[in-house]
């Protein structure tokens, strides 16, 4: 007599000829994880804190080679931000390092702020950093997971001052396939926005074929015809601090009417923000060849810069910061902004980059390119009664923002209300 085969799709247990017990497998995996966590718990981690970037620079740069990062975790980017915008906002640097057997396995750059009687520790970068996570050595996963779980208590012991809340917004769940322990192990709520990017290969046509390739090529041909009718055009990229400053001034001129029409304060026009982006331009020389803290790609025609895109390149990835188009209806039909994105993504493929990141937000032009979504959470760890009140209010505010942005009717109403406040009809 022949034994019957196991049900289709289920592996056979060689000893019994029966399907594996899925619950037993899950239980075994959980026990193995518990053993790994128990071993990690026996390891002594030392937490060190400094406010001195120079002291921590070699540790930071060494960790940059062992972590999955964005440009917003780059040492020179963070230092430039803190020494301009961070200080202008009244912050003081709190640079936290986790050591294991004299080896750095964790680095969390924080800013200490005093607001409404609260002491807040928040991740550096402010509104100009789209992803605000820490540096974790990828080989120390279990140790870092325990370190993050114990972080509030460890910080309370290591810091010479009391803290009301740990506020770490815009934490990706993972980057480059590496889990972010801050998002996984600490209390969090979904951010009001998410991030998105397009993965790249050297064959730009293959990237284009992932979605609406025929339509994109058709639009490009029409744009090129229109630009040529203006007497020709030039696609270029800045390559010096002086050029970066010139393009930043152009960006401000492009964007001022946009902000005014929508009743939104122009966060780019203040002196500290200008100093930050100028500092990035000056510090480009500190990065290896092929990497930039900031550069501008732009299209020029009819004697004017019609559109520009600012971003930085780090670890084989390009990160978009901001974009603008000329405020002139004469050029609107050319969609120069979309044209600039097309050309920049095309050049990124030719340069061998592996990712083009659009940052946070859900604009339509991003969706036409992106094949990677980056869900984000806001970590809030209250350490006092005042901190709990702050966390509750912020969670409520974030949830309201998220609902408004996901509801086209509500979002349109908010935009119209801003315009009325700005004195526009």
Q: Could you give the dihedral angle defined by the CA atoms of residues 345, 348, 353 and 356, in that order, rounded to the nearest 10 degrees?
A: -30
Q: Closest Cα partner for 322 from 242, 248, 259, 414?
A: 248
pLDDT tens for residues 15-55? 434 445 667 656 665 665 565 455 445 457 789 999 999 99
Residue 8 has pLDDT above 60, yes or no: no
- C-alpha to C-alpha distance for 401 and 191, rounded to whole angstroms: 9
pLDDT at 404: 75
Residue 6 has pLDDT above 50, yes or no: no
Average pLDDT over residues 140-169: 89
pLDDT tens for residues 382-414? 999 999 999 998 988 888 877 777 767 766 666
- C-alpha to C-alpha distance for 378 and 374, rounded to whole angstroms: 13
The neighbour count for residue 60, using CB atoms within 10 Å, is 22
The neighbour count for residue 374, using CB atoms within 10 Å, is 21
pLDDT at 165: 97
- C-alpha to C-alpha distance for 20 and 191, rounded to whole angstroms: 40
> Residue 42 to residues 38, 98, 141, 147, 150: CA-CA distances in angstroms?
7, 15, 14, 12, 13
Average pLDDT over residues 365-387: 94
pLDDT at 265: 86
- C-alpha to C-alpha distance for 153 and 156, rounded to whole angstroms: 5
Rounded to the nearest 10 degrees, the angle between the axes of helix 408-421 and helix 385-406 is 100
- C-alpha to C-alpha distance for 102 and 96, rounded to whole angstroms: 15
User: In this structure, are residues 381 and 187 in contact, taking their beta carbons and an 8 Å threshold?
Assistant: yes
Average pLDDT over residues 195-218: 96
Buried b (16+ CB within 10 A) or exposed e, 356-365: bbbbbeeeee
pLDDT at 2: 40
Q: Tell me the domains of the chain and their CATH numbers.
A: 46-193+376-421 (3.40.630.30), 201-353 (3.40.630.30)
- C-alpha to C-alpha distance for 169 and 126, rounded to whole angstroms: 9
Between 420 and 56, residue with greater pLDDT: 56
pLDDT at 423: 57
pLDDT at 141: 74
User: In this structure, are residues 317 and 100 in contact, taking their beta carbons and an 8 Å threshold?
Assistant: no
pLDDT above 90 covers what percent of the chain? 68
The neighbour count for residue 371, using CB atoms within 10 Å, is 12
Between 255 and 398, residue with greater pLDDT: 255
pLDDT at 171: 97
The DSSP annotation for 24-37 comes to: HHHHHHHHHHHHHH
pLDDT at 208: 96
Residue 142 has pLDDT above 90, yes or no: no
Average pLDDT over residues 104-124: 95
pLDDT at 17: 44
Buried b (16+ CB within 10 A) or exposed e, 78-87: bbbbbebbbe
- Take residue 320 and report the two structure tokens written for it: 């978009």
**Residues, the chain:** 425
pLDDT at 36: 47
CA 142 to chain centre: 24
pLDDT tens for residues 280-309? 999 999 999 999 999 999 999 999 999 999
Query: Which alpha helices (H) appear in 193-335, and where do they start and end?
Result: 204-208, 213-229, 241-262, 271-283
Buried b (16+ CB within 10 A) or exposed e, 272-299: ebbebbbbbbebbeebeeebbbbbbbbb
């Amino acid at each position: 007599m022949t034994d019957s085969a196991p049900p289709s799709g289920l592996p056979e247990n060689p000893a019994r000829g029966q399907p594996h017990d899925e619950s037993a497998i899950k239980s075994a995996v959980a026990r193995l994880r518990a053993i790994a966590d128990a071993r990690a718990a026996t390891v002594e981690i030392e937490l060190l804190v400094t406010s001195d970037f120079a002291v921590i620079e070699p540790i930071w740069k060494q960790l940059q080679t062992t972590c999955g990062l964005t440009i917003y975790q780059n040492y020179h980017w963070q230092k430039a931000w803190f020494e301009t915008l961070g200080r202008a906002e009244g912050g003081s640097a709190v640079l936290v390092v986790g050591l294991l057997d004299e080896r750095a396995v964790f680095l969390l750059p924080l800013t200490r702020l005093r607001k409404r009687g609260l002491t807040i520790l928040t991740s550096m970068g402010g509104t100009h950093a789209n992803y605000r996570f820490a540096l974790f050595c990828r080989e120390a996963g279990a140790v870092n997971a325990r370190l993050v779980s114990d972080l509030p208590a460890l910080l309370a012991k290591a810091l010479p001052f009391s803290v009301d809340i740990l506020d770490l917004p815009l934490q990706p769940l993972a980057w480059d396939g590496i889990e972010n322990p801050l998002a996984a192990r600490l209390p969090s709520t979904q951010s009001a926005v998410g991030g998105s990017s397009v993965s790249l290969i050297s064959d730009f046509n293959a990237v284009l074929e992932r979605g609406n390739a025929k339509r994109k090529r058709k639009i490009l041909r029409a744009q090129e015809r229109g630009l040529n009718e203006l007497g020709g055009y030039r696609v270029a990229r800045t390559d010096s601090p002086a050029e970066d400053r010139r393009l930043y001034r152009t960006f401000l001129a492009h964007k001022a009417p946009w902000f005014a029409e929508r009743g939104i304060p122009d966060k780019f026009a203040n002196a500290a923000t200008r100093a930050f982006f100028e500092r990035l331009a000056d510090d480009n020389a500190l990065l290896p060849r092929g990497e930039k803290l900031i550069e501008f790609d732009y299209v020029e025609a009819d004697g004017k810069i019609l559109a520009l895109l600012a971003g930085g390149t780090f670890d084989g990835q390009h990160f978009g910061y901001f974009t603008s188009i000329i405020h002139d209806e004469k050029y609107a039909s050319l969609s120069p902004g979309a044209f600039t994105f097309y050309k920049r993504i095309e050049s990124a493929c030719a340069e061998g980059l592996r990712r083009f990141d659009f940052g946070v937000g859900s604009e339509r032009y991003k969706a036409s390119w992106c094949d990677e979504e980056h869900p984000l959470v806001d970590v809030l760890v209250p350490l006092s009664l005042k901190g709990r009140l702050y966390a509750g209010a912020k969670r409520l505010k974030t949830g309201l923002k998220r609902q408004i942005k996901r509801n086209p009717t509500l979002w349109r109403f908010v935009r119209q209300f801003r315009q009325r406040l700005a004195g526009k009809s």
